[in-house]
Amino acid sequence: MKTTTQNGNDVSAAPKTDLKTKEFLEKQRKILLDLSDDITQIRDKTDLIILFSSRIKNLFYFKHTIVTLIDPERTSYRPFLLDPVSSPIQTHPSYARLVDSDFPLRGAFIEGVLDAGKPVLYWMEDIMDLPGSPSFLRVNYEGGIREILMTPLKSKNETIGFLHMYTDRPGSITEEFISIIEGIAPQISSAVTNIIKNDEIREKEWINEILLECSIGLAAVRTREELAGTVRTTLIRFNLMRGFGIRRINADQETMTTYVHDLGVTNVSEAEMIELTQSQFPIYDGLQDRVLDSSIPLQVNIDAEIRRGITSRYLVLWQDMGLKTMVGIALRNGDVTLGVLWLGIEQANLSLLQAIGSQISVAMSNVLAAEEIIDREREKTFLLGFSNEVARVRTKEDLKNAVFKVLNRVLNVKLAMINLIEDDNVTLKPFMYDRTLFENASEEFDALVAASNTIHEPTATRVLAAEDRLILKVAEELQACPDNPFVQLWAKTGLKYMFAAPLRSAQADLGTIWLLTDNLKSELLQGICSQISTAIANIQANEKILAYKRMLEMENSQLKEQIKRTYNFNEIVGSGPEMQQVYDLISLVSESNSTVLITGETGTGKELIARAIHSASPRKDKLMIKVNCAALPANLIESELFGHEKGAFTGAVERRIGKFELADNSTLFLDEIGEMPLEAQVKLLRVLQEKELERIGGKTTIKVNVRIITATNRNLGEEVKAGRFRSDLYYRLNVFPIHLPPLRDRRDDIIPLAHLFVDRYSKATGRKVRKISPKVLQELTSYPWPGNVRELEHLMERCVLLSTEPMIREVYLPNKNTGAEVQPVAMLGTLEDVERMHIIETIKRCRGKLAGRGGAAEYLGMPATTLHSKIKKLGITKRQYLAE
């Protein structure tokens, strides 16, 4: 057997022994046998070296021995089995460091052993100071060691470590010694391999045992707090607790945010702590994505990552916290990647970390599932609450309150806009928005709100085409459509997502809703949007009902107004034979359903007579409906009479009930029938014949039971002849004609009528005008009254208003020749009137005192006798100045 020194010299330095002697062989055999026995009994790894050392020492002298092992990467070797009791350097200050050091597998010293593949004896002085020589050589030399025998330990032809044997007596390691060591090296190797395996098995068992314990705890975890606590306990059990953070992948699939953490005791500031645990950190930053992609835990050197150019803020925060290395473990449950577990540790058993990681993954998915259930429940309750609130919504204001409450306060979502489609089915009109959202761009926003938008605007078209919603990433949209003014506005809010949805009710598009948020809860938002759709449909229906109600109220008040003006039979003044005849006709026709045509000059009382007929008819409990055919433009008269459906023509925004329908079971009074356009005459005739009608644009026929009374101041017979009035209609209307004579032909009625009107307007205005002077009565009866009773009525109303005393003494009739009214110089009356008024007023102020100091004569600047004669002359009575 040939053994070499580090210089490659023949082992001439080792004292020669006859290796073939029987004695030697016997010695070797015994050592091997004893050692084999020992090795089988070894329970503890330190026992091996102690037993080995003592057995060999029985035969040869050496100081002490150790075993070193090569690391799995085969870059270094480190102490594995020590015999500190025999070591001469155990009191050396470097001892503790040396036994825990890795020594590079480079340099002449160790490479010499590896190359030789068998024991190599070194003289310390030759080797210890060579470049690359391990420091333990010099330390041993200083401890008195002079030679070292290095024997490679092999397993399956690969060197797994070294047996170091040290001596302080040069020459004590003989050739025989070396030969024996070489012979027993395989035994030592296999013992070491067994120890390693045993160690591994034992460690695995220990790990499994603890993992099992931890897994029971982790499996029971249901909340985040429990998760944090159990992860902490698990790490403590493995002595790995130096602070941890679990980051969860956010819904955007682009960022991660801390889910649970325990940073341990660190010198981190409150602000940094909040930043680290609440920020969204990008997944694809070159580090987190590496961890997620890696199937094994990844050890990260923070400084090195920053030097590599990874700019994520959390690295800087870790650095600030004084951390040097972190281990990142991807957390996965089946195919689902949940996030990353970051551990603030230097190094650790990878398979252990992996096992911990997968247990935490299971626990985390349990917590997530539990949270999801709670979230869903909460969302359900929340939606139910919102839907109850929305069900009560009747106005836009109610809806605004409900929507803003739910979006801003509960979900942290901003309402960018609700647009509603107009009746033209194209225009999108802003309905509701949160202007505060666009504070940075208020001018642009106002301009967009003011400009009319349509369903053809590209983003609006996309939303309306969507089945239920559209989720847009604002940044991507801005890249794709940098010129779109809407997208530009969204970008200015700084929010990440635009959640847009069509608002629909019963499959009809009502409009679009646009929500901006960083926190996307699509399902919930979807639910809210459909509630908003329902609410808007309700509001619109309610608005229609209100409009309809308003219309009815308007009509109702008009009708009431008409009723007020309805005078019954008794209020019709006229006692002459002409009017008597009219009364007879009214009595005759009232009870029947016959159509009546009332003719007469304007103002003769035709409407009054129509109302009298209605009031005396069996239909009197319902309102008489009046249509003035002259007051309506030709194109509207049909819709006024027969009504129309929504959209029947431009401007028909609502359905409208016609007067015919309103007059069902009552009387329809068509005033000024002579003015009705021919086209409408045809339709009127049809309704009169068939007693049913169709609304304009409508498809169904509506049966009506209406009594018709018409009136005209024209000569309808002449109109028929001139072709302006349909003869067939004329005959149908002229069933029962009543003609009203003009007032000039019944002069006996003038004075009773004048008194009636004075009385009526005195009461209405609160004046005390009661009488008409004979002179005025005379003037009234001799006037021709071209405007008939209405003219008389207006004139008397005016007289009441102008009169300053209980008797009407003056009337301003139009000039009989010119028709123009003779205006007095002043509205105050004649000079005599003014004088009378002035005297009465002065006496009143003097409290009836005429003469003497403070009397009216003094103030009027005349002697009391003159005043007396004037009072007499002007017919001033005591009543006039003492009455009030």
Ligand X SMILES: Nc1ncnc2c1ncn2[C@@H]1O[C@H](COP(=O)(O)OP(=O)(O)OP(=O)(O)O)[C@@H](O)[C@H]1O
Enumerate binding residues for ligand X (CB under 6 A): 572-574, 600, 602-608, 671, 711, 713, 789-790, 793
Q: How far is the CB of 644 from ligand X (least distance, A)?
A: 27
- Three-class SS state of 507: coil
Q: How far is the CB of 794 from ligand X (least distance, A)?
A: 9
DSSP class of 192? H
Q: How far is the CB of 809 from ligand X (least distance, A)?
A: 24
Q: How far is the CB of 445 from ligand X (least distance, A)?
A: 56
Specify the residue, 173 or 572, whose C-beta has the smaller distance to ligand X. 572
Angle, helices 175-219/350-391, rounded to nearest 10 degrees: 10
Specify the residue, 171 or 752, whose C-beta has the smaller distance to ligand X. 752
- Three-class SS state of 860: helix
The answer to whether the CB of 488 falls within 8 A of the CB of 384 is: no
Q: Are strands 325-333 and 336-343 parallel, antiparallel or unpaired?
A: antiparallel
Q: Which residue shows structure tokens 């390693």? A: 196
DSSP class of 741? P
State both tokens at 567: 């005078």
State both tokens at 687: 């309704």
Specify the residue, 516 or 711, whose C-beta has the smaller distance to ligand X. 711
- How much of the chain is in helix, strand and coil states, percent to nearest 5? 50, 20, 30
Smallest CA-to-CA distance from 148 within 65, 76, 85 is with: 65
Q: What gap in Å lies between CA 774 and CA 473, rounded to an integer?
A: 93
Specify the residue, 511 or 605, whose C-beta has the smaller distance to ligand X. 605
Report how far apart the first and last C-alpha atoms of the chain are (Å, whole number): 158
Q: How far is the CB of 640 from ligand X (least distance, A)?
A: 17
Sign of CA dihedral 88, 93, 97, 103: negative
Q: How far is the CB of 784 from ligand X (least distance, A)?
A: 17
State CA 699 to chain mean position distance: 43
Specify the residue, 201 or 631, whose C-beta has the smaller distance to ligand X. 631
Q: How far is the CB of 639 from ligand X (least distance, A)?
A: 23
Q: How far is the CB of 601 from ligand X (least distance, A)?
A: 7
Q: Which residue is nearest to ligand X (CB)?
A: 605
| Residues with Cβ within 8 Å of residue 698, at least 6 apart in sequence | 643, 644, 645, 648
Smallest CA-to-CA distance from 669 within 725, 621, 613 is with: 613
* Amino acid sitting at position 631: A
Beta-bridge mates of residue 15:
none
Specify the residue, 396 or 790, whose C-beta has the smaller distance to ligand X. 790
Q: How far is the CB of 708 from ligand X (least distance, A)?
A: 16
Specify the residue, 640 or 749, whose C-beta has the smaller distance to ligand X. 749
Specify the residue, 260 or 573, whose C-beta has the smaller distance to ligand X. 573
Q: What gap in Å lies between CA 579 and CA 117, rounded to an integer?
A: 150
Q: How far is the CB of 580 from ligand X (least distance, A)?
A: 12
Smallest CA-to-CA distance from 438 within 385, 383, 488 is with: 488
Smallest CA-to-CA distance from 664 within 615, 705, 711 is with: 705
- Three-class SS state of 826: coil
Specify the residue, 576 or 697, whose C-beta has the smaller distance to ligand X. 576
Smallest CA-to-CA distance from 46 within 201, 191, 200 is with: 191
Q: What gap in Å lies between CA 655 and CA 760, rounded to an integer?
A: 41
Smallest CA-to-CA distance from 148 within 172, 179, 124, 126 is with: 124
Specify the residue, 138 or 790, whose C-beta has the smaller distance to ligand X. 790
Q: What gap in Å lies between CA 182 and CA 166, rounded to an integer?
A: 15
Q: Are strands 508-517 and 414-421 parallel, antiparallel or unpaired?
A: antiparallel
Specify the residue, 568 or 877, whose C-beta has the smaller distance to ligand X. 568
Smallest CA-to-CA distance from 716 within 706, 701, 704, 726 is with: 726
Specify the residue, 232 or 760, whose C-beta has the smaller distance to ligand X. 760
Q: How far is the CB of 725 from ligand X (least distance, A)?
A: 17
Q: How far is the CB of 599 from ligand X (least distance, A)?
A: 9
Q: How far is the CB of 793 from ligand X (least distance, A)?
A: 5
Specify the residue, 456 or 744, whose C-beta has the smaller distance to ligand X. 744
Other C-beta atoms lying within 10 Å of the C-beta of residue 308:
10
Q: How far is the CB of 671 from ligand X (least distance, A)?
A: 6
State CA 218 to chain mean position distance: 37
Q: How far is the CB of 622 from ligand X (least distance, A)?
A: 20
State both tokens at 530: 């459909």
The answer to whether the CB of 142 falls within 8 A of the CB of 26 is: no
The answer to whether the CB of 644 falls within 8 A of the CB of 652 is: yes
Specify the residue, 120 or 573, whose C-beta has the smaller distance to ligand X. 573
Q: How far is the CB of 786 from ligand X (least distance, A)?
A: 12
Q: How far is the CB of 628 from ligand X (least distance, A)?
A: 8
What is the secondary structure of 520-569 as a DSSP string? Answer: --HHHHHHHHHHHHHHHHHHHHHHHHHHHHHHHHHHHHHHHHHHHT---G
Q: What gap in Å lies between CA 499 and CA 517, rounded to an integer?
A: 8
Specify the residue, 640 or 671, whose C-beta has the smaller distance to ligand X. 671
Specify the residue, 176 or 793, whose C-beta has the smaller distance to ligand X. 793
State both tokens at 857: 């004569």
Specify the residue, 638 or 791, whose C-beta has the smaller distance to ligand X. 791
State both tokens at 752: 């009773």
